[in-house]
Every structure is written in C-alpha cells, then in structure tokens.
Amino acid sequence: MIRGLDLFKRRFEEYKDQYVLIGGSASWVVMDKAGLPFRPTKDLDIVLIIETLSYEFTKAFYQFIRDGKYKISQKSNGKSCFYRFTKPENQDYPFMIEILSKGNGSSDDLLPGSITRMSIEEEIISLSAIVLNDDLYTFLRNNTTIVEGLSVADEICLIPLKIRAWIDLTEKKISGIKIKEGDIQKHKNDVYLLSQLLTANPLKEVPNLIQKDVVFFSENCPDKDDKLKELGLENTSIHEIMVRLKLIYLVS
C-alpha cells in the first residue's frame, strides 16, 4: 500500500472529476486491481483537470498540505515551487505530491515542462502546476478510470506517459545533465510490467506524439529477455511486447 493513499482518497472523494493520478501511484493502483505486483512507490503525481477545477477543491488541497505539514520545495534560485510538496511532518500523509495540468494559454507556459499558475476565484487562491503536453492531457482525459474511489489514468494512458518519461530522462542524460540510472530504468521497467494489462485491441485514434514515442522506444530500448525474467515476466519477450505496443498505438 502507498503511504497516505487511503487518506487522500477519503479527503478528495467528492472531487474525482477534478484530478487524475498518474505515475507510479496510478500504476500501483491499476496493477493491484489486476492482482499483479508492482514496485513500491511513495509519491503522488496528480494532474488537475483545469476544465472542472473548483475553488472548493483548491481550498481542500491547500488544507491537505497544511494538515500534513509539508515542506514546499525550492528551486536552485531559492524561489518556492508551489507544485511540489515534500517531507510531511505528519507521517500519515504521502511522502511527496507533485502537481501537473494543462497550460492556461499564457505565453509563460507554451512548452511542456514549464510552470503555469492558476487562480481560483472567490478568495483568490493560486496554484502552480507543471505543464503537460496538450495531446497527452487530452489522451489522459479520454483514458481515465475510477478504481476503489480514486481517479487514475488507466494502463492505456500510463504506458505512453512512462515511455515519455523514459525518453525525457534519457535525452537529459545524453545532454550531460546528471540523471540517476535507476530513475531512467524504472520507467522502462514499468512499461514492461504495465504491458501485462493490455488487450490485443488497437485504439481508434492515437496522438502523433505517442506514436513517435512508441517507435523510438521500440527502436532504442537496449534490453534483452533476461530483463523480463528479473521482473518476474516469464511468458513473453521484448519483441512480443514491442509488437503489442505498435499494434495498440497504431504504429505501422
């Protein structure tokens, strides 16, 4: 079980249309529902649904942060990151919470990975979020499910998000940015594990970015079948997984 996940579910039960869990926590939830093991994780990555986001949700979120007595992360320039909350004093709360969303259309958040600010009317409450690519955001909204009271991305959406994270970190490391190898490997391994949940049914429509990422992943992933055995996947191969990914995400 992920620390603080049940608490988060209870506190935001009436706001399931305003957020979606992604990342390791969502992967754990969908894998657990299927009765399959998944690596331990302690972070909550939360995408805010900008079209339905309300003052009440934002107020409840900030109260959650206050109750947990979270530390607000800081950038290298000393400025606070109001999209990443870490190391709560109250150990019943998730270890880290990171906020993502769609850009609000300003010139400050044209690129994925930049930071957008959202102000909710009434008592003005501002919330920052890491900008998610518009195509990925729309794909996420179309591939969200409710599992035991939690709004989570399903495996169809989680896999391309994991592939994108693997590509981003791989490119950063190649460019000289210091990235832990384990942080790169975990996203790749998660793709293999989540692939167990896929059916053989192709999607009807897939964003071009996702198709390109699937091609890059299939052509540049260096692993052999022994890696799958390390993960407990005995009855498949790297080749079979790549073929399935191309079929489902409409890659010819």
Tokens of 117: 């600010």
240 located within any domain = yes
Contact by Cβ (8 Å): 238, 227 = yes
- At residue 111, the pLDDT reads 45
Burial 133-162 (b: 16+ CB within 10 A, else e): beebbebbeebbbeeeebbbbbbbbbbbbb
Tokens of 242: 């790549």
Same structural domain, 178 and 104: no
Percent of the chain with pLDDT over 90: 76
The per-residue pLDDT of the chain, averaged, comes to: 89
Span 42-76, pLDDT tens digits: 999 999 999 999 989 999 999 999 999 998 865 55
Instruction: Look at residues 46, 48, 69, 21 and name the one whose alpha carbon lies nearest to residue 119.
Output: 48
Same structural domain, 180 and 212: yes
- At residue 109, the pLDDT reads 42
Span 184-197, pLDDT tens digits: 999 999 999 999 99
- At residue 202, the pLDDT reads 96
- At residue 79, the pLDDT reads 59
146 located within any domain = no
pTM for this entry: 0.90
Cα gap 142→139, rounded to integer Å: 5
CA atoms within 13 A on the CB side of 127: 31
Same structural domain, 131 and 192: no
Q: How confident is the model at residue 129 (pLDDT cuts 50, 70, 90)?
A: confident
Same structural domain, 170 and 54: no
> The domain containing residue 178 runs over which residues?
154-248
145 located within any domain = no
Instruction: Look at residues 126, 74, 88 and name the one whose alpha carbon lies nearest to residue 8.
Output: 88
Kindly provide the residue ranges of all beta strands, DSSP E only, lying in the chain, ordered along the sequence: 19-22, 43-48, 71-74, 80-86, 96-101, 115-120, 125-131, 144-147, 150-153
Same structural domain, 117 and 205: no
144 located within any domain = no
192 located within any domain = yes
Q: How many domains does the chain have?
A: 2
118: which strand partners?
127
Percent of the chain with pLDDT over 70: 87
Section 1-8 average pLDDT: 95
149 located within any domain = no
Q: Where does residue 11 rank: exposed (0-12), middle (13-18), buried (19+ CB within 10 A)? A: middle
Same structural domain, 163 and 123: no
Span 71-108, pLDDT tens digits: 886 555 555 667 889 999 999 999 999 999 987 654 34
Give the end of a domain, one of 73, 107, 136: 136
Contact by Cβ (8 Å): 11, 46 = no
pLDDT of 113 over the 90 cut: no
Out of 11-15, 85-89, 101-105, 248-252, least confident range: 101-105
